[in-house]
Amino acid sequence: MLKSFICNNAFAISTTLSHFSFPYPFSHKFLTTTTTSHSFTVSYLINNFNFSSELALKASKQVHFNTPNKADSVINFFTTHGFTDTDIQKIVKREPWLLSCDTHKRVLPKFQFLLSKGASPSDIVGIAVGNPRFMKTSLKNRVIPLYNLVNQFICSDQKTLASIISCPSLLCSDFVDSNIKLLVENGVCNSSIFRILRSRPSIIFCSPRELAESVEELKKLGLNPSMSFFGDALLAKRGISESKWNEKIDTFKKWGWSEETILEAIRRQPKCMLSSNDKINRVMEFWVNELGWDSSYLVKGPGIFGYGLEKRVIPRAMIVRYLLNKGLRSESASLLTPFYLSEKLFLERYVLCFEEEEKSYLLKLYYEMMKVENEKGQKNPES
């Protein structure tokens, strides 16, 4: 254990540095270019946290001490709060100043605040390791205001904590408040901001200039910030590079969609741009080549690209095709509706509503297709 290692080697660490033997080839340089306290800090970081000599020297400019007492007490603080040796090493390597801080004044109040909101000790460990910088920021002026701002849109301590656990920078990023303000001023609705904060909060860590550019680009595509799908559009626009975005445009064009058609699909369901090129091609291949249906149908329901091909699209499509061939479903009915229903409603409306013989055949067909396609999906997990 790191703690016992330090305690057992405290005397060795504090030995006069002129007699200290460094295992690194350029340690002599440090002894001749740094002060005694800096040299002690360097040796402490190298021996107890596996710092490289260069990184230890750099860190010693932020924190330095002549004895191990303070640093040992900091390590003991984290150990008693459930942090492992590995956790502590990760934290110290990113924020070495912690080794000389008063943890009960600087860090503990932040832990207590999170506990008061329902976080568990393991949650706090995850947040601190995920972004140790949050322990450096002011509780009163930064952590609490940012927490309250995020919770204003999520409206649940449990869900707010879940977002923070997945993205600890929410408690310390320099851009969270300014970017949320930017979205509000541009008319982005609360539900869109909620979706961003719950799905991919890292989107609002970019510079306000970059976020503003993305918002304007989406507006030029005809997307209204007040619509609930605008959050999905931002997720797509900020979630993939411009080159990947253009590649997907080209993939849709390959299947006969014009630029205006693609824009219509994006306006209807922006998340279709988050599907991989392979997924787009596989859906189109099945829809056009196997079913013989026109790809233009999918423009009105581009959300289908986000559904599992093996688990949902193919089994349901086979039922719909059978019903059409048997004249049990009107050709004028929407081809897309069956794919958007819940499992329960789909079975009720397209399988269980028929006479016993027909119903038995449809159930058998549906579950056989589900089994066969699931087995295929295991070989090709992106479905």
Residue pLDDT, tens place only, 13-53: 333 333 333 333 333 333 344 445 578 888 889 988 888 88
Amino acid at 76: N
Distances (CA, A) of 252 to 257, 261, 265, 279: 6, 9, 10, 11
Exposed, middle or buried, 277 (CB in 10 Å: 0-12/13-18/19+)? middle
**What pLDDT shows up at residue 21?**
35
Tens digits of per-residue pLDDT, 320-369? 999 999 999 988 889 999 999 999 999 999 999 999 999 999 999 999 99
Is residue 206 predicted with pLDDT exceeding 80? yes
Contact 125, 81 (CB under 8 A): yes
Report the Cα 62 to chain-centroid distance in Å: 31
**What pLDDT shows up at residue 27?**
36
The tokens describing 135, both together, are: 């322990």
Report CA torsion sign: 45, 51, 57, 60.
Answer: negative
Say which residues have a Cβ less than 8 Å from residue 346's Cβ, sequence separation at least 6. Answer: 316, 338
pTM, two decimals, is: 0.74
**What pLDDT shows up at residue 381?**
53
**What pLDDT shows up at residue 203?**
87
Classify the phi-psi angles of 156: left when phi > 0, otherwise alpha if psi is within -120 to 50, otherwise beta. beta
**What pLDDT shows up at residue 62?**
84
Average pLDDT over residues 260-285: 94
Contact 22, 13 (CB under 8 A): no
User: Worst-scoring range by mean pLDDT, 29-38, 72-81, 165-174, 197-206?
Assistant: 29-38
Residues counted in the chain: 383
Other beta carbons within 10 angstroms of residue 232's beta carbon come to 25
